[in-house]
Structure 1
Amino acid sequence: MNAETAALLFDVVERLQKNIVARDRPAIVALEGERRLVLIDYDYLRDPRSATSFETRAAVRAREIQATRWVFAVPLVWVTAPDVVYSRAVSNLPLREGEQETITWMSFDESEGVDYGRVPYARRPGGEPVFDDPEMFAVGVRPAPTMPGHMLLQELFQNS
């Protein structure tokens, strides 16, 4: 990941962390092209239709500003099983055994391609989140169509 994309990632992660501390759970995408544009959607985790709608709108805006890089991030709960990671929307309910709250992210840079990663976090007894550093996956990842940012990627490159 180059320095510009890393800076964009840290900006998005910081924005999302502030929202999580405030008990909000939006999806955030930062697009860079002719200018920087940050889009936030508070309904993203509500249902698949809301998620698809936001990513489709983000793709339209990315084309408008001729985006050359972007970072998409959303808070999720991960459940890791052998050879697969499942995710679900975050909620105010306690985590079940084997679950981990995480900011799940996807980045794209036209010169370097796509990267995936996460920012795991835990909560203190009072509910305050404590965030780890962003991690980038070093192994091959096959994202499901429901992976945050996947629809945005598909929308931008459907005619390529």
Structure 2
Amino acid sequence: MTTDVNPDTESLLFDVAGRLERAILGRDCPAMVALQGDRTLVLSDYDYLRDEPAAAAFEQRAAEKAREIHTSRFVFAVPQVWVDTDDTVQARAVSNHPLREGEREVIAWMSYDAHDGVDYGFVPYVRRPNGEPIFAEPEVFTTAVRPREQAPGWTLLRALTQDGAEPTGT
């Protein structure tokens, strides 16, 4: 991954992506967040993709833990199915159903560092005919990103920054 991501954040990203890849190989699809502060804490949630209230509840619980350990950095990741449209990316939860035309599976991620800000990216993957996923390296968006409030990690980020400023991505 060639990026300007802080090396400590990059290391945390590779840890979270690796954990999530192993979960996907085991046919699990949890949301996962690694919080780094006084110590490193990794949390996961299997209900995250069920609906927006479940997702928001997990991110609020993660924010509580993040405040407890004085988090200065986190990486939030979740498997999703993406469809690229003209100038946006539409996302939906992964499922056991085959992908529709134009869809692709990814691990969507957001990283936050108190000194370096926010980065957004994804880990693309494809499946062999037997269903085994093959993962690529994490990629970082190099253009401005304007996430919706439902974007993975948004609620956690807002809860930690609490200054009312709109988080912006690179």
Structure 1 and Structure 2 fold alike (TM over 0.5): yes
Q: Secondary structure at the match of 1:49?
A: helix
C-alpha distance after superposition, 1:67-87 (max 9, x if no partner): 010000000000000011000
**Alignment partners' CA distance in 2, 1:155 and 1:31:** 13
**Alignment partners' CA distance in 2, 1:114 and 1:72:** 11
Aligned match of 1:132: 136
Give the percent of matched residue pairs that are identical in Structure 1 and Structure 2: 59
1:111 and 2:124 matched: no
Please tell me the residue identity of whatever aligns with 2:47.
Answer: D
Give 1:13-52 correspondences, 5 Å limit. 13-52=17-56
Q: Secondary structure at the match of 2:91?
A: strand
1:73 paired residue among 73, 77, 80: 77
**Alignment partners' CA distance in 1, 2:112 and 2:16:** 13
C-alpha distance after superposition, 1:55-74 (max 9, x if no partner): 00000000000001000000
Aligned match of 1:123: 127
**Alignment partners' CA distance in 2, 1:129 and 1:68:** 32
C-alpha RMSD of the superposition: 0.7
Q: Secondary structure at the match of 1:71?
A: strand
**Alignment partners' CA distance in 2, 1:50 and 1:129:** 26
1:151 and 2:142 matched: no
Gaps of 5+ in 2: 165-170
Deviation at residue 155 of structure 1 after TM alignment: 1.0
Please tell me the residue identity of whatever aligns with 1:31.
Answer: L
Q: Secondary structure at the match of 2:106?
A: strand
Q: Secondary structure at the match of 1:122?
A: strand
**Alignment partners' CA distance in 2, 1:69 and 1:8:** 9
Please tell me the residue identity of whatever aligns with 2:16.
Answer: V
Deviation at residue 2 of structure 1 after TM alignment: 1.2
- Which stretch shows the higher mean deviation, 150-159 or 42-51? 150-159
Q: Secondary structure at the match of 1:76?
A: strand
Deviation at residue 22 of structure 1 after TM alignment: 0.5
Structure 1 ranges of 4+ moved more than 3 A: none
Deviation at residue 159 of structure 1 after TM alignment: 4.0
